[in-house]
Amino acid sequence: MSLSARAPADNIQDTSYFVGSVWAQEVIDAMQNQLVCWDAFDCDRWLKDLKKGDTLYIPAIAHVTAVEVVVGTRNATLDPSTTGVTMTIDQWYQAPIDIDEMTARQTHTDLPARVQTECAYAIAKRMDTTLATRFSSLGGYSTSAYGTDGQTLSDDILLYLKQTLDEADVPMDGKRVLVLDPSALVDMLKIDKLVSADYQNQKGAIANGVIGNSVYGCQVRVTNNLTAASTGSYGVMAHKNALAGCVQLNPVKKFEEPWYHSVRYEADALYGTCEERNAFGIPFFTRHA
């Protein structure tokens, strides 16, 4: 690009006044604010000191059934162990931004907040999207989900999903979540009893995609990062322990590149996801992708 063609004031990448530690904290905060799916599932308690290719083993415990006491007889021991799951740290994404010397010096617009937010959002969206691709395999569904692709989300569908989780002994402990897209949210807002029971008492602004209070014991989250089917997308009603994720964040790097007359700022994430408990989630189709 020729010098005359440059317009630093209009350049989305132009910014200045970077302070490394402050920028790093802002990136972390921005990422946390954007994670709609990630922080709804079991992604906050696993080891974070991992490298690409590492495997994390997650043990699983099964329910046991009590047996009648027979005097003089030693009953066989009960075994709560079952096949665990593994998670491979196999995803590594970056969001780099190059700032050339001319832009940094000539800009008259302060854009560090926009830059760090875009950087963080790119990583957060990638992490959420990866986790959302696992929705359609929960609940014993291998290639599909409950209902018909492009369906209108109804009260009957929501009640079916709840009943299915209840019958699978999924805990009703306040850790259930309903993840859907804007089209399914609109459908749900047309269900009178849900609007009157759960939404009229909503206070404050919608934050991090969390909508309303509770729908049949589920926190409702809305996102545009769901995996598309044909007409609609794959939403899910699930417990926090249905899916797991582990991330190692390297929130900011700074590379001085004098040979390019620029400085590169980069946010990246090394992470993995897995299905933790298959029966703890039921996918469903939404109306619009």
Q: pLDDT (tens digit, 9 = 90+) per residue, 86-137?
A: 888 888 898 887 777 777 666 655 455 566 777 778 888 899 999 999 999 9
Q: Is 128 left (phi over 0), alpha (psi -120 to 50) or beta?
A: alpha
String of b and e for 41-72 (b: at least 16 CB within 10 Å)? bbbeebeeebeeebebebeeeeeeeeeeeeee
Instruction: Examine the pLDDT at 3 and tell me if it is beyond 60.
Output: no
Return the SS3 of 223.
coil
Domains detected in the chain? 3-132+245-275 (3.30.2400.10), 137-243+279-285 (3.30.1930)
Sheet of 262-275, strands arranged across: 91-100, 262-275, 243-257
Q: Which band of pLDDT confidence, cut at 50, 70 and 90, is reported for residue 67?
A: confident
Average pLDDT taken over every residue of the chain? 78
Rounded mean pLDDT, 136-165: 90
Which residues neighbour 122 within 8 Å (Cβ) at sequence distance 6 or greater?
A: 93, 95, 267
Quote the DSSP letter at residue 150: T
Q: In this structure, are residues 124 and 223 in contact, taking their beta carbons and an 8 Å threshold?
A: no
Closest CA to 247 of 43, 88, 94: 43
How do residues 180-200 score in pLDDT, each as one tens digit?
A: 999 998 998 888 887 765 554
What tens digit of pLDDT does each residue of 235-285 get? Answer: 999 999 999 998 877 666 667 777 888 777 778 888 899 999 899 999 999
Residue 11 has pLDDT above 70, yes or no: no
Q: Could you tell me the pTM of the whole model?
A: 0.76
